[in-house]
Amino acid sequence: MKRHSMAHLQEPAGPGSPMARPRTPPHIGTLILLSGLSALAMNIFLPSLPGMTAYFETDYRLMQLSVALYLGINAVVQILIGPIADNMGRRPVILWGLVLFLIATIGCLLAPTAEIFLLFRMGQAVVVVGMVLGRAAVRDIYPADQAASMIGYVTMGMAVVPMLGPIVGGFLDGLFGWTANFWLLAVLGLATLILTYVDFGETSHKSGKTLIAQFREYPELLRSPRFWGFTLAAAFSAGCFYAFLGGAPFVGTEVYGLEPSTLGIYFGAPAVGYFLGNYLSGRYSVRVGLNTMVLLGSLVCAAGIGISLAVMSSGAGSAESFFGFMTLVGLGNGMVLPNATAGALSVRPHLAATASGLNGATMLAGGAGLSALAGALLTPETGASPLLVIMFICAILSTVAIVLVILRERQLRL
């Protein structure tokens, strides 16, 4: 990422300060790590869910809530964090969020019961500030189409994290037990906090408004059809993945009898496609345009799920076909999410962090519901079919949303 000079946006450190505050925008590596930590916290422990269920002597469905509750609290945090960051700046909000994430992670490790674990697990959701404000920082620096490309490159790098996370989590679980995953999160959280403090210079002017005044600007976004079109296109496309997160551990372990280490490897399938999709976004968004990239991505996502559902319905379904076709879901998401996010953030550029928060909150609120729904509907008798049906409906709705955006923009040009 080109590091534009933005010294005027950052107050200088005091005389003799042992560690002067950075005056320039963050390196792309810092943005990748901030976004990646949020993704890693979401999925690294998924292969351990059966073992955690046994450890806490509880029901699997209760432990599966560790995904849905995390996503739900993520949504709430994102609604609040945007106006706060537009008011206070990106840097301090990210630093405090990382500190709270570290405390919550230690709480997960020390939890004596499943209920207390879930309480601290919800607290871990505050790490989403890194993803939300990292995207807002990109939009602070770049215009819309270029922002989509840069967000694509950031999330392309971030895609390595969810691809490797369950694989690493499965092997750590096999070697040391489920707590090893949370010790890794604690170490990475501390490293990210240090790097952010050293590298992340403020990228935005403080609004100068009170928080109440900042929250009052939400209606400006809520009244925009284009904002909602981009946001819903992203939300339904991401909903395919979140439903997968909620249902795939059950499908892998209970339907296909996979071991945690094998399940962790199979979980990497969507991330392989996501990596490629984000590469395509980074390479072609400026040339092709946001709307076209979102439309193509949503169609690819729907095609992957539709083929998988057809294979499953024919009786030829297997663990390999189920997880293999998820690569196309990841590919579609990699094309949809950076471009739809950049589009949503560009509707009202002066509210970039607020838009990023509301956009992300909508995705995660829907994701929390879909994750819980997928977990509730699946049984060994149903197989993976209910999960695939949910995902297919989401992909179709994502396509409808971006088509409405395209029609709206054509109407505005007339």
Predicted confidence (pLDDT) per residue in 342-396, tens digit: 888 777 766 666 777 777 778 777 777 787 787 777 777 777 888 899 999 999 9
Mean pLDDT for 127-155 is 73
pLDDT at 366: 78
CB 200 within 8 A of CB 22: yes
**What SS3 class is residue 147?**
helix
Nearest CA to 391 out of 317, 277, 305 is that of 305
Q: Is residue 12 in a domain?
A: no
Token pair recorded at residue 64: 């599966």
**Per mean pLDDT, which of 62-66, 84-88, 95-99, 255-259 is the most reliable?**
95-99
**Higher local confidence (pLDDT), 239 or 271:** 239
**What SS3 class is residue 269?**
helix
Token pair recorded at residue 204: 């935005």
pLDDT at 183: 95
pLDDT at 378: 75
Range of the domain at 326: 20-413
Which domain CATH number covers 402?
Answer: 1.20.1250.20
- Indicate the average pLDDT of the chain: 80
Q: Is residue 275 in a domain?
A: yes
Of the listed ranges 17-31, 46-60, 85-99, 211-225, the one predicted with least confidence: 17-31
CA distance 336 to 297: 5
pLDDT at 104: 95
**Higher local confidence (pLDDT), 206 or 61:** 61
Distances (CA, A) of 190 to 100, 193, 312: 11, 5, 44
CA distance 66 to 48: 12
Q: Does the pLDDT at position 21 exceed 70?
A: no
CB 129 within 8 A of CB 97: yes
Q: Is residue 10 in a domain?
A: no
Number of domains in the chain: 1
pLDDT at 13: 38
Confidence of residue 22 (pLDDT cuts 50, 70, 90): low
The backbone region for 383, taken as left when phi is positive above 0, alpha when psi lies in -120 to 50, beta otherwise, is: left
CA distance 356 to 73: 16
Q: Is residue 11 in a domain?
A: no
Q: Is residue 13 in a domain?
A: no
Mean pLDDT for 312-338 is 89
pLDDT at 181: 92
Q: Is residue 345 in a domain?
A: yes
Q: Does the pLDDT at position 17 exceed 60?
A: no
| Identity of the residue numbered 227 | F
Nearest CA to 274 out of 218, 318, 200, 328 is that of 328
392 CB neighbour count, 10 Å cutoff:
18
Predicted confidence (pLDDT) per residue in 392-406, tens digit: 999 999 999 999 989
Q: Is residue 3 in a domain?
A: no
Mean pLDDT for 249-270 is 81
Q: Does the pLDDT at position 233 exceed 80?
A: yes
Q: Does the pLDDT at position 206 exceed 70?
A: no
Distances (CA, A) of 279 to 336, 340, 366: 12, 15, 26
Give the number of residues written for the chain: 414
Q: Considering the chain, what percentage of its residues have pLDDT values greater than 90?
A: 24
Residue 408 has phi, psi (to 5 degrees) of -65, -45
**Higher local confidence (pLDDT), 341 or 216:** 341
Mean pLDDT for 25-45 is 81
Q: Is residue 325 in a domain?
A: yes
The backbone region for 177, taken as left when phi is positive above 0, alpha when psi lies in -120 to 50, beta otherwise, is: left
